[in-house]
Amino acid sequence: MSALRVVPAGRHGRDRLYVCRPDGSNVAWYDRETGRVNLLGEDSRDDVLHALKPFLTGPVTVGPPPVPTPAELARLTLHPDDDLAPNRPGEALLVALDRDPGPAHRLRPDPRRRALTAEETVGAALDTLEGAGCHTLHSVPLPGGDRIHHLLLGPGGLFAVHALYARKSRVLVADPMVTVGRRAPEPLLRRLRALTDRASYALTAEVHPVLALAGPADLTVTARPRAVRILKDTELTVLARLGGVLKPADVEALHAMARDRNLWGRV
């Protein structure tokens, strides 16, 4: 076996490295927290240890993995290009801005940068919920150029979270219209419910829509919106405290499903 490559498993402090063949399939993974190299085949031991040598710190245990869960097996079959888990908050916008930064002489701020700030703010808040048994996927692509800004999976259920830039602005919600400052109202809640329905169809599980406001000065809701939670970015921890809907094994299984880019191409 040759040309093995080492790929980080995730983001924001996750300390697991996968060892992949040239075709992207995994042969082993190294968990730094436990100091263990988990081999999927004993015949690959020498090549795996050679590939991991620059990354090994201290003594390690080498051997077959503990009996893998269905979620772990599903994750290991993913090609790195199809795995959405490494996506950063605002991944699609980051890529778009890198390809086309726009003219430097803009009189007004590029709206993509405000949208990116919102997604990064909300994404960072959601990522802190991992300790509560939650997983978050960012920038989940859908056919037609649509995407789900953030998909939160946890004991309290599944949530499609849409980030909206509202820094120091008054926000008025009159279902389905959302007005930020002096901007024209938009039927944002209708679009959010439609995206959430597509997510529910893809995962064959109920997904709840959430509108997350990044930095609003004031929020007014004229009537309780149908099926949509309206939260400020500082209030998102409430989603981790709901509980009682999904067992940890269900969360892991759904996360393994949702991180596969190919799943979303059918909705």
| Model confidence pLDDT, tens digit, residues 4-54 | 888 876 543 447 788 888 866 778 888 888 888 888 777 888 999 999 999
pLDDT the model gives residue 249: 84
Position with higher pLDDT, 34 vs 264: 264
Q: What are the two backbone dihedrals, phi and then psi, of residue 191, each rounded to the nearest 5 degrees?
A: -65, -40
Domain positions in the chain: 5-67, 91-266
Burial 23-52 (b: 16+ CB within 10 A, else e): ebebbbbbbeeeebbbbbeeebeebbbebb
pLDDT the model gives residue 12: 38
**pLDDT classification of 148: cutoffs 50, 70, 90:** very high
**pLDDT classification of 240: cutoffs 50, 70, 90:** very high
pLDDT the model gives residue 267: 83
Task: Return the closest-CA partner of residue 259 out of 128, 124, 79, 8.
Answer: 79
> What is the value of pTM for the model shown?
0.73
Q: In what order do the strands lie in the sheet with 5-8?
A: 5-8, 16-20, 26-31, 36-39, 61-63
- CA torsion through residues 163, 165, 167, 169, sign: negative
Residues in the chain: 267
> Where do we find the tokens 């990116």?
116
